[in-house]
Chains A and B, each alone.
Chain A
């Protein structure tokens, strides 16, 4: 924790199981419909899912810098450009439908010559056919325990809530300097030009406050996201992160101590040149996973594979039972309230 803010007693955390994430973007869309559905916020996707390996969103964000060096000094990185975020396209619906031009025109983005978007390199990945590989990585604000955005803000507009550890911005204080966007190494902060403020995932705090899980969690049809308090030893997030150590933060070397964790992906076994199966190696190179999740990813995958082998032999596995989450509400931790049941005063 940087600055003088106390470490919050309760820290909320997300665990995304990448073996369940099918890249459908329901989390991204649910988030957007909640908070950024207006057309002047077309470019703003507080939650995104990208194909990995890939350049991500904003494009090549991993090269842009930010976070802390190993000595704990804040590093301001680049400010991503609108072009690097991409998207925010207008389309010529009216011209096509009612313009009287017939087949001389066709529907497509009309502004800016599209060169990138929130999911531009979807399903491209890497490797050589047939051993091509990829997986999906959902990303939102990491609600870090050492939030570089908070440190970077010259207006002290960003705060970490004591009640749940969410990193939020007081929009009345934000002056739109966009230093937070340079400080955040994950580049998950957007500038709302209409309102002159930077914005990022708010953890769906109005929902949390009513005991309802965030939209990205509650709407995930893959049942792939767990939420809960990291300090609650009984919670699934605690067990996966602290006990089983199968859920890891993205780019721990950026030193912001994220509170979004990922169960690393398995992948099919490799094929040899003659197309026979090599069961000693999976397609996703471990070196690539290490570049994302650090060296601990080896141990996490080892644990996961070990438990899978046990289960295949018909033995019980507490870890796999947790990941299966027989009842959906197991994923939601204390946030299992049904929003439709809320009676507003």
Chain B
């Protein structure tokens, strides 16, 4: 039997990790993720989880400890944000390159300078190409659900890659919402202990992470690409399995009112929720608008995205991070590339950068974006391909 409790995004992630029978947690507190780490250290101290909590002096060390622990076959969790993720950058590639199925909670936050503690996606987008799977949650329930699914996805021997579960800093990390949590036994049934393929063991020494020169390095990277490709189906399998346990349906992406939509907003995370609320209002005014929310950003769900776009004529792609100097920002670049690859480059696209450093995006902002998309669909003309929402110019 599930029970309903009020949890913030940070609390929901810590609660899920507690139920996932982790062996090792190594993490360093940083706003707005701090509560996640505080709660987990408390659970370990109280004996509520039988795990080793490694107190480290930095995020670089946190992920280093996680890599070592994961290679022994342990189930491993870490969490970070912003500068902490940036400091981990080197080890992110080591974790994916050594095929460590580490699960990481990220309370997304802007990067310095100037110093800012509020929510945007600069941190994770800055590590976009690090070979990790990346999931973005819309609310605390999704954060809870994806953490539990993430261990199962990452540890599957067809995948063996690390995964980050992202929640918008403050907007989700510090907001309490209704969360339906599973019983501990149900989580144990859904997620049995990890079955590692190869482990490091002093009794039977092996070498991992050794020097790999031009004769083999490329093949190792090719295998990572293969593993990410394999993960599409594993994610879908785990989603179906999770649905049969909980009734809650997940997929690579979520669509809202897309079956006959003329235009859509594509957005990650909590903003997709606000977009749904506005779309519902606009639908009641007879405007055919919809929302596409990639739950999984890496690997990018391009096939599903193309299906979701259907016959829509204009797309507004929202990015909460700046890819300085790029033709489009991260999410929009992927959307445009997917449309091109599937021969749908006639769909009109414009890119809206919003919410940097935690600037709020309001229903009024989103309504204006939808209306602009409707105008683009009607006229076939994109006036501005790149816009900055709610900024003083």
| Chain B associates with chain A | no
Q: Which residues of B contact A (CB under 8 A)?
A: none
Q: Which residues of A contact B (CB under 8 A)?
A: none
